[in-house]
Amino acid sequence: MKARLVLSAVMVLLLMALGSWASGADFATFSTTYLRQVSQLLAALGLALVSLQFVFVSRVKFIEAGFGLDRMLGWHRFFGRTGLVLLTAHAVLILYYRFTAFGEVYPTVFVWVGVLALLGFMVTAAVASLYRLIGLAYETWRNIHLANYILFPLVLIHVFYHAVPGTALFYLWILLAVLYAAVIAYRLARIRSIRGNPYEVVEVSQEARDIWSLCFEGKKIDFLPGQFMFIQLLRDEGLSYAHPFTISSSPTRGRLSITPKQVGDFTMTIKNTRVGDKAFIDAPYGVFSFLNYRFEELVFIAGGIGITPFISMLRYIRDRELTLKVTLFWTNRNESSLCFREELEQMEKELSDFRLILIMSDQPGWQGEKGHFNSEMLESYLGSLDQKDFFVCGPPAMTASVIFELKELQVPPSRIHSELFQL
């Protein structure tokens, strides 16, 4: 319902952009001035879409609750890239029109402001798309990406200079400027609230060879098992950038915890965190929780550190003494990669309807399931797949493969749940 409401608001904004252009279009001379008029339409739609990318990356709770942050970021990328294409086409058409109509383009300072902003958007879009491929550090990518918040006001300067006061397009630019200002105000207020409620690290524990848990105490946060947080750590080396991690603790307990694996520059430093260090936590986010759905039987499929949302859910089920039938398939390379193993095996004894299936992809002599998760394992352990809801969390390739196999087995998409958060 919330997602539909938000997407309806998006459509209204785009229709307003179209209507604003149409109200000022001169259709009587369209055959001779179509390049200029079409370029104005592209500017109206492009700028509306670019403004929406700020809305969909701002972590507004109402919007996020309807989509999940991974889908919000998907829309953010779509709006940004589509808007950039439209604005680029606008620039090409208007410059071509001016050259063919007048023999020159009259590049005033305000034209150059628009060109500079457009080139800046191109750079940030390229970095956002290719930063993993070129091996750019997350922190560097983030700093470059934040340049969009400076570039957008330059675009507003450009369009207001060329706007005619009193026209519908002029009021559209005012609306987009107000929308942008509201996003900035929301983000600043959110940062102030988070910084005003610091958390303290109360426990640092090693769960496996390269996996560590951090526990925090501070202001109580109401969250659902399976949701995640953004966290900044304040340690001897200073304040870190915000990074997303699943909350591995259960809402039934007073402490918050995360359990990262050492796979990047930031996570490699997790083990250096000390009891007493401070943290700033922004939570909760995500819709990956069984509490958000109606179901008869749960099947959890985890790959590696993708176990974290499931340990939160299982701890919740145990603490609430819920009578739910749950099967957990968990794929790892070998036993040294396992975290929470003793706790999960104890849960299997305590919860009569919980079953744990460990799968090792690279451990000679392993007596259980070997290789990678596949549909044959589902059929072997579950039999019929009817009336079961499947929750999948793991590396991107593994998640995509499992979802593909489930769909091949005719499992309805409404009973397949995943949340792949990638920056």
Report whether 359 contacts 368 (CB < 8 A). yes
Final residue belonging to a domain, choices 285, 304, 335: 285
Both tokens of 126, joined, read: 């390229």
Give pLDDT, residue 423: 47
Q: Say whether both 160 and 211 belong to one domain.
A: no
Q: Say whether both 33 and 178 belong to one domain.
A: yes
What is the tens place of the pLDDT at every residue in 350-384? Answer: 998 999 999 998 888 888 898 888 888 998 899 88
Tell me the residue range of the domain where 388 lies. Answer: 295-418
Question: What does residue 126 show for φ and ψ, rounded to 5 degrees?
Answer: -65, -45
- Does some domain include residue 20? yes
Both tokens of 207, joined, read: 């769960």
Q: Indicate if the pLDDT at residue 37 is higher than 70.
A: yes
What is the tens place of the pLDDT at every residue in 4-17? Answer: 889 999 999 999 99
Final residue belonging to a domain, choices 194, 222, 241: 194
Q: Say whether both 355 and 274 belong to one domain.
A: no
Final residue belonging to a domain, choices 285, 305, 320: 285
Question: What does residue 347 show for φ and ψ, rounded to 5 degrees?
Answer: -60, -40
Report whether 109 contacts 161 (CB < 8 A). no
Name the domain count of the chain: 3
pTM of the model: 0.87
